[in-house]
Amino acid sequence: MSRADHLIERSIAEGLPPAEEQELRALLRADADARARYDRLRRLGRVAAGSPADEATDAELERLGAAVRARLAAERAGARAPAPQPRWRFGWGRVWPAVAVAGAACLALMLWPRSVQQGTEVRRGLPAGPPLCEVEAYAVEGGADGAASAPAPRRLQSGDRIKITDYLQFRYQSADPEVRYLYLFGLDQRMTPLDYYPRPDAAESITIEPGDLSSLGRSIRLEKRHQPGPLKVVGLCSRVPLKRDAVYRAVATVRAAAWSIQAIDHVPVDGVAQTTVLSLEVVP
């Protein structure tokens, strides 16, 4: 069993101390296959614990609450809080849920294929082969009357700044004929999704066409819903439409885990074939 699989199994069954939790996160960021196995095992663990696959179990919420309380205590004390030591007391009533989850995790590890493609979240910069889907963002300077002005759009790269008076435009390219859907949104420090595509009156991903680079059409006026500060543009490409409710639940999970906007490199939505994330800074 690899180090990643060992940490994944322990994380699902009993939780990890802070140092090993950080190690696991680093391994998952570097290995898309391990990330897919982790997501699948977490869903199986939730089902084994009697919860829906997309909802946190009581044990997960308890561990999350303990981590948040430890972080707050460490900040108040001006130092990192020590890792809580588990207190074991034998009893089948306490042991059986962990045994059930661990059993499901071990079974899935044996059955789950090592080269995961469909349903795997792949992020730019990871060694996962050619991208299935690319999303490009462009800045268009806003005119004095609030309308987009004539100068050619400027392609944005991670780390670029964009004025709050500017407009965002998007282009996409899908290299896989089965990747036909795109959900595109922004996240700022409020950690509330700012929907770009689909529009606010729609409920699921838009349809995209494979082939050459294509424009998504309308411009997004930043002044309308955005604020100065960090902005993550997140594109979720998929083979099936993603529901808005599922995306919002995933963002709520990230928000509840107290992730900073700078740490966002993916959003855990089931069914995603590829994720692209662009880090921008909105300035006055």
- What are the tens digits of pLDDT across the range 126-184? 344 567 888 999 999 876 555 555 568 899 999 999 999 999 999 999 888 889 999 99
Q: Are residues 166 and 274 both part of a single domain?
A: yes
Here the tokens at position 273 are 């074939």
Q: Are residues 142 and 91 both part of a single domain?
A: no
Within its chain, how far is the Cα of 95 from the centroid? 32
pLDDT beyond 80 at 82: no
Pick from 77, 111, 145: which residue ends a domain?
Answer: 111
- Within a domain: residue 143? yes
Residues 220, 167: Cα–Cα separation, whole Å: 5
Q: What pLDDT, on a 0 to 100 scale, did the predictor assign at position 62?
A: 63
Asked if 259 and 106 touch (Cβ cutoff 8 Å), the reply is no
- 244-277 burial, b at 16+ Cβ within 10 Å, e below that, comes to bebbeebbebbeeeeeebeebbbbbbbbbbbbbb
0.75 surpassed by pTM: no
Taking CA atoms, 193 is separated from 56, 227, 231, in Å, by 20, 13, 11
Range of the structural domain that residue 205 is part of = 133-283
Q: Are residues 100 and 36 both part of a single domain?
A: yes
- Within a domain: residue 142? yes
Q: Are residues 174 and 106 both part of a single domain?
A: no
The four Cα atoms 167, 133, 32, 196 give a dihedral, to 10 degrees, of 30
Q: Are residues 271 and 143 both part of a single domain?
A: yes
- Within a domain: residue 121? no
Tokens 């809580």 -> residue: 84
- Within a domain: residue 117? no
- Within a domain: residue 78? yes
Q: Are residues 209 and 270 both part of a single domain?
A: yes
What's 137's domain CATH number? 2.60.40
Domain count, the chain: 2
